[in-house]
A and B are shown apart, each in its own frame.
Chain A
Amino acid sequence: MDSLFIAGKAYSSRLLVGTGKYKDFDQTRLAIETSGAEIVTVAIRRTNIGQDPSQPSLLDAVPPSKYTYLPNTAGCYTAEDAIRTLRLARELLDGHDLVKLEVLGDPQSLYPNVVETLQAAEVLVKEGFKVMVYTSDDPIVARRLEDIGCVAVMPLASLIGSGMGILNPWNLEIILARLTVPVIVDAGVGTASDAAIAMELGCDAVLMNTAIAGAKNPLLMASAMKKAVQAGREAFLAGRMAKKVYQASPSSPTSGIIGS
């Protein structure tokens, strides 16, 4: 069994998915079921005071008893806000301490602010959180986050929600060579081949939301992503053939050809 281990716990799926941007909770539930994901990210937000208390909630559609919740700090621009948000998340989820830390730099690029991210990671790890951290694809920062004690480092492939795919496989390879904790591509995947490439590079998993929720047919894309992550993982484990630049090699026997 080729399990993904995060903070000592084994998972059979290497696809992690978000729960945002779906048409309704039904579509959320079906897409996540189809993806086969076991870990799902959720956001922590102010409740609407005065809303109908009988309204359905995410917790009904995606029950925490069935999925491992990964509360995030999306929308936080300072270490302080991110830390407060995750303390609230831990209280909300009865002491659940596996979290996704992301501290953003600006609302246009949603690029991570690594200075604030490093500060927040230090505090959260000391407070006993198991921190999976969204970061840039800077290998030095990635290594520092591992040294701080983060349980997974999650570099972007390209900007959040951009669907631009894997823009810098070389940096991801440097990060993979230098880290021992799981490296999970988080953000930027647009279609199935992007997920497969991430896995072929040796990434331990892929986290995505918009690539599935933003597809014309989210359920079909959830199925495609599940297969792509599996295919990419198997190709990585199989070990690809060496590339032979400008040198062809026939696949069929070179002798016994008629007329020779």
Chain B
Amino acid sequence: MITLNINGEPHPFASPLSIEQLLARLELADRRVAVEKNGAIVPKSQHGQVLAQDGDALEIVVAVGGG
């Protein structure tokens, strides 16, 4: 069991997984999002390779209405 801190909330997962797998699990695969892991951007081109591991802090953001 691992815990990922996603957007400030703890989420349990069975084992480490790639960012691509994580987005699919969160039903965000088809959404336009950007991902930051432990303060550093994870480029889209690396979503398949970069692993989210126990204790990682992830930010997943979208564009919303704003002024």
Q: Residues of A at under 8 Å CB distance from B?
A: 18-22, 28, 41-47, 49-50, 53, 57-59, 69, 71-72, 74, 84-85, 87-89, 91-93, 160-161, 208-210
Contact = CB atoms under 8 A, between A and B. Distances in A.
Given A53-B31, A84-B36, A46 B67 contact: no
29 contacts: A18-B65, A18-B66, A18-B67, A19-B66, A41-B66, A43-B63, A43-B64, A44-B34, A46-B7, A46-B8, A46-B59, A46-B60, A47-B7, A47-B31, A47-B60, A50-B26, A53-B27, A57-B63, A59-B63, A71-B63, A74-B66, A87-B36, A88-B61, A91-B34, A91-B35, A91-B41, A92-B32, A92-B34, A160-B67
Contact of B65 (A43, A50, A92): A43
Interface in B9-67: 9, 11, 26-28, 30-36, 39, 41, 43-44, 59-67
B65 A42 contact: yes
B7 to A, nearest CB: 4
A44 B63 contact: yes
A57 B60 CA distance: 15
Contacts of A209: 66-67
A88 B65 contact: no
5 closest A-B pairs by beta carbon, nearest first, are A43-B66, A18-B67, A209-B67, A92-B34, A91-B34
B61 A47 contact: yes
Contacts of A87: 36, 41
Interface of B: 6-9, 11, 26-28, 30-36, 39, 41, 43-44, 59-67
Contacts of A50: 26-27
A interface, over-half SS: mixed
A94 to B, nearest CB: 8
Nearest to B7: A46
B32 A59 contact: yes
Contact of B59 (A41, A59, A88): A88
B4 to A, nearest CB: 11
B36 A45 contact: no
Nearest to B6: A49
Contacts of B7: 46-47, 49
Contacts of A41: 66-67
B60, B64, B66 pick with most chain A CB within 10 angstroms:
B66
Most B CB within 10 A of own CB, among A20, A69, A91, A161? A91
Contacts of A59: 32, 63
A208 B67 CA distance: 7
Nearest to A80: B39
